[in-house]
Structure 1
Amino acid sequence: MTASVSFSVVVTNYNYRAFVCEAVDSALAQSRLPLQVIVVDDGSTDGSPALLAQRYGGDARVTLLMGENAGQLAAFRRGLEQVRGDVVCFLDADDCWLPEHLARLGEVFDARADVDFVFSDLELFGQQQARMRYADRAMDLGYTVVSTYMLMHWYGAPTSALALRTPWAHRTLDLPASLGAFWRLSADNCLVFGTSVLGGRKYYQPTGCVRYRIHGNNGWWSNRTPTNEYLNRFRSCGLIEHYARTIGLDARCVDFAKQEFKTKPAPSWREARRYAALVRLRRGSWWRGLERSLAILAAAWRRRGELPVEFKGLS
C-alpha cells in the first residue's frame, strides 16, 4: 500500500490584514489536514502581525514568523526553513482554498512517487469572476526541460495553486542574492521554471478548490502593462538560464525534444504542436525537420485515439 504524503502549507502575507485570516482558516479546514501551517508576515504595516498573534498565537497548528519586509522570495525561503512535510504548498494571503484541495492533490502525490510538482486550476473571485485552467482534464505533463528552456513555456499556475515535493522547493529557491533581488514579486516563477529546468516531473490536477482573489492590490494582475510584461519575460529568461547553467544545460537539449515528448502519456494537441515546432529547431535539413514534426503529431494522434478538432472534417 502506498504511504500517504504529509503536507506543509506556507502562507505569505504583506499588508493583507483584511484577507489573511480567511487564507489561514482555509488551510486549517482542509479535509486532509496539513502537518503544519506556517504563516510568514513580510513586514506588514497594516496591523497584520498583531491580528495574527491574537488569532493564532496560541494555536499549536500554526507557526507564526514575523520579520522585516524583504519580498515574496525571501518570505518563501523563511517559511521553507520550517517545513517538515513531504510536500509544500504556498498560499497567498489574499487567496483561499475549499476544503478538498489538499485531498485532491494527495491523490496524485500518494499514487505517483515519480511526480514532483502538481498544479491546479483557479476560480477568480472579487472584482472579476472566471476560471483559469491549464487544460480541460487532469494531465501527466511528464518532463518539461526542453520546452521550458527553448520556448520559456510556463508549466504552472499562480502561487496558491502550486504544490511540490519539499526537496524540489529547496532546489528551486536556492538562488544567489544577485538574482534573488529580481524576485521580490512573482517568486512563483522560481518554483515553476526551476522545477521544469532542473528536471522535475509535472502533473496538472484540477481540484476546483483554489479561490484566487482579484482586487486593487494584486501586483501581478493589476500591473499587466506592456513594459511590465516585457520586464517579466526578461527576468524570466535570466532565471531559466541560471537554472540551466547549474546543470550544464544549453540549446543542444533540443536534440532530446522527441524523447521528452514521449514522457507525456496523453498529451494535448496544443502540447503536440509545441513539440512539433521544437523538433524542427534541431540541426539538419528542413525536410528531416518536417518528418520529425509529423512524427510527433502522429504519435499524439495514436495516443489520444482521436483526431484533433482542427483536423476533423478533413479525414
Structure 2
Amino acid sequence: MTTFAVVITNYNYAKFVFEAVESALAQTRPAAQVLVVDDGSTDASPQMLRDRYGNDPRVTLLFDKNEGQLAAFQRGVAAATADVVCFLDADDRWKPGYLEKIGAVYDARRDVDFIFSDLQTFGIDQMDIRYENSGQPIDLGYTAVSTYFLVPWYGAPTSAISLRRHWAENVLDLPHSFRRHWKLCADACVVHGASIMGARKYYLPTGCVEYRTHGSNGWWATRQDPSAIYRNNLRNYGIVRQYAWRVGLDDGCSVQSKYEYRTKPNPTRKERKRYASLALRGNAPWWKRYERALGIIMGHRGHKG
C-alpha cells in the first residue's frame, strides 16, 4: 500500500499552522510522515510548534533560516522516506478523507506519478477551484510537449498537489541560486517540472482541500494584478526552459505531440485545442499538419497522420 509523507511549509503563520498540522494528523488514511518545515519564522511559530509537537512521534519538526518556499520544499522532501510526497501550506487544511481518496488512485495506478485535486476557498472568498471546471477525474497522460510550447497549468496550488517521492526529488533538484527567485509560488517548479521531466498526471476532484484566503496569500492576492501576472508568466516560462534544458527538450519535440496526445484516454475540449495547435508546428507539409490538427479537433485520438 502506498505510503505518504506530508510536507507542511510554514513562515509566520502561527495563527494557522496548528489547523494545518491537525488536518494532516486527522486523515482517515494516516500519513507515514508529517514533516513541518519552518522557514525561519520570526513570530511565535517555532516555539509553539516545539511546545505542541516536540514530543509527538507522528510529527517531525525542521527549522532553518528563512530562504523561501522552494528551500522549504527541498528540505521537506530531503527528509521524506514515504512513497508519495503531499504538500500542504501552513494556512490551508484538508478534510479527513484526502489521503484516502488520492491513495486509492496511487494504489491502483502505478503508472500515475502526480495527482492534483480541486480546492474550495474559505476566508475572504468562497469559491471552488477546479481544473477546467471539471467535477470528474481526468487522466491527463503525459504533458511535456504541451508544457514546453504552451506552458499550461497542469496542476493546482501547493496544498492540492502530490507526487511520487522520486519525482519530487528529481523536480526539486535545482541550483541553490534558484531559491531567491522562488521564495513564493514554488509550486510552479513542482507542477511544470513534473510535466517537462515526464511524469504522468491525473486530476482527481476530492472536495477535501480547503484553501484559506486572508489577503496575504502570494498568488491569490495578486492574481488580478497585470504586473504580477506578467512577472509570474515570465518566471513560469523560465522554469520550464530550465527543466527542458535538463532533459534535452528543444523545439524539435513538436513532432512528439501526436504521440503525447494519444496517452490521454479522454482529452477535454481545451486539451484537444492545445494539441491541435501543436500539430500545426513542425516541418511537415502544411496540408499534413492541418490534417493532423483537424483529426485532433474532431476527436480522432487514433489519427495516424
How high is the TM-score relative to the length of structure 2?
0.96
What is the match of residue 239 of structure 1? Answer: 239
1:32-71 paired onto structure 2 within 5 Å? 32-71=29-68
1:233-263 CA-partner distances (Å, limit 9, x unpaired)? 1111111111111111101111111110000
Whichever residue aligns with residue 142 of structure 2, its letter is: Y
For residues 214 and 255 of structure 1, what CA distance do their matches in structure 2 show? Answer: 42
For residues 302 and 77 of structure 1, what CA distance do their matches in structure 2 show? Answer: 40
Q: Is the 8 A contact 1:179 1:239 kept in 2?
A: no
Whichever residue aligns with residue 167 of structure 2, its letter is: W
SS at structure 1 position matched to 2:60: strand
What is the match of residue 141 of structure 1? Answer: 140
Unaligned runs of 5+ in 2: none
**Greater Cα offset, 191-200 or 224-233:** 224-233
1:88-107 paired onto structure 2 within 5 Å? 88-107=85-104
Aligned-residue RMSD, C-alpha: 1.4
| Residue of structure 1 aligned with 2:112, choices 97, 111, 115 | 115
What is the match of residue 161 of structure 1? Answer: 160
Question: Displacement of 1:301 after TM fit?
Answer: 7.9
Whichever residue aligns with residue 213 of structure 1, its letter is: R
For residues 81 and 178 of structure 1, what CA distance do their matches in structure 2 show? Answer: 18
For residues 265 and 191 of structure 2, what CA distance do their matches in structure 1 show? Answer: 21
1:52-94 CA-partner distances (Å, limit 9, x unpaired)? 1111111100001112111000001111111010000010000
SS at structure 1 position matched to 2:181: helix
What is the match of residue 260 of structure 1? Answer: 260
SS at structure 1 position matched to 2:28: coil
Q: Is the 8 A contact 1:88 1:166 kept in 2?
A: yes
For residues 164 and 17 of structure 2, what CA distance do their matches in structure 1 show? Answer: 24
What is the match of residue 186 of structure 1? Answer: 185
SS at structure 2 position matched to 1:282: coil
SS at structure 1 position matched to 2:2: coil
For residues 280 and 88 of structure 2, what CA distance do their matches in structure 1 show? Answer: 39
Identify if the C-alpha distance between structure 1 residues 145 and 301 changes in structure 2 by more than 3 Å, giving closer, same or farther: closer
Question: Displacement of 1:285 after TM fit?
Answer: 3.4
Q: Is the 8 A contact 2:262 2:302 kept in 1?
A: no
Question: Displacement of 1:12 after TM fit?
Answer: 0.4
How high is the TM-score relative to the length of structure 1?
0.93
For residues 121 and 56 of structure 1, what CA distance do their matches in structure 2 show? Answer: 29
SS at structure 1 position matched to 2:210: strand
Q: Is the 8 A contact 1:279 1:292 kept in 2?
A: yes
For residues 181 and 128 of structure 1, what CA distance do their matches in structure 2 show? Answer: 30
For residues 27 and 300 of structure 1, what CA distance do their matches in structure 2 show? Answer: 43
What is the match of residue 289 of structure 2? Answer: 289
What is the match of residue 200 of structure 2? Answer: 201
Question: Displacement of 1:219 after TM fit?
Answer: 1.4
Question: Displacement of 1:40 after TM fit?
Answer: 0.6
Whichever residue aligns with residue 25 of structure 1, its letter is: E
Q: Is the 8 A contact 2:295 2:301 kept in 1?
A: no
Q: Is the 8 A contact 1:269 1:300 kept in 2?
A: no
Identify if the C-alpha distance between structure 1 residues 146 and 302 changes in structure 2 by more than 3 Å, giving closer, same or farther: closer
For residues 278 and 199 of structure 2, what CA distance do their matches in structure 1 show? Answer: 20
SS at structure 2 position matched to 1:183: coil
Q: Is the 8 A contact 2:84 2:163 kept in 1?
A: yes
1:152-173 CA-partner distances (Å, limit 9, x unpaired)? 1110000000000000001110
For residues 280 and 112 of structure 2, what CA distance do their matches in structure 1 show? Answer: 29
For residues 253 and 299 of structure 2, what CA distance do their matches in structure 1 show? Answer: 21
